[in-house]
Amino acid sequence: MSSLKVQRCFNHANREAVARCAQCGNFFCRECVTEHAGRMTCGRCLGQPADTARSLRFRSILLGVIQLGFGLMILWFCFFMAGRGLLLIPSALHEGSVWNQIMGEK
């Protein structure tokens, strides 16, 4: 994570940052941020509706659920194909007759 000491203002590159916007995460100088509802917020985010943050959070949760679903489907497919591969093994191998022939036993 970046230290606030070495960050510069997002809008003014020659000024050092004093705060980070709670919504967008960018660093800003004193003139570019304001306190709103107990949080430091930049002017751009102050003009956005508050529901934007909630919808972004909902989208990230939904994306995580979809990724988990696809991961489980891929895992199921791998096990399914492994099972099909095991079914292709001849039953003589399971009975031991193939091994007896290889080892020279009867």
What pLDDT, on a 0 to 100 scale, did the predictor assign at position 2?
Answer: 56
Q: Can you give the pTM of this predicted structure?
A: 0.42
What pLDDT, on a 0 to 100 scale, did the predictor assign at position 20?
Answer: 87
Largest interatomic CA distance in the chain: 91
What pLDDT, on a 0 to 100 scale, did the predictor assign at position 54?
Answer: 67
Phi, psi of 105 (to 5 degrees): -95, 160
Q: Would you kindly state where each structural domain of the chain is located, as residue ranges?
A: 4-46, 51-103
Show the low-confidence residues of the chain (pLDDT under 70): 1-5, 49-54, 94, 96, 98-99, 105-106
Whole-number Å distance between alpha carbons of 100 and 104: 6
What pLDDT, on a 0 to 100 scale, did the predictor assign at position 51?
Answer: 61
Q: Are 10 and 42 in contact (CB under 8 A)?
A: yes
What pLDDT, on a 0 to 100 scale, did the predictor assign at position 5?
Answer: 67
What pLDDT, on a 0 to 100 scale, did the predictor assign at position 67?
Answer: 97
Q: Which residues contact 10 (CB under 8 A, 6 or more apart)?
A: 17, 26, 27, 28, 32, 42
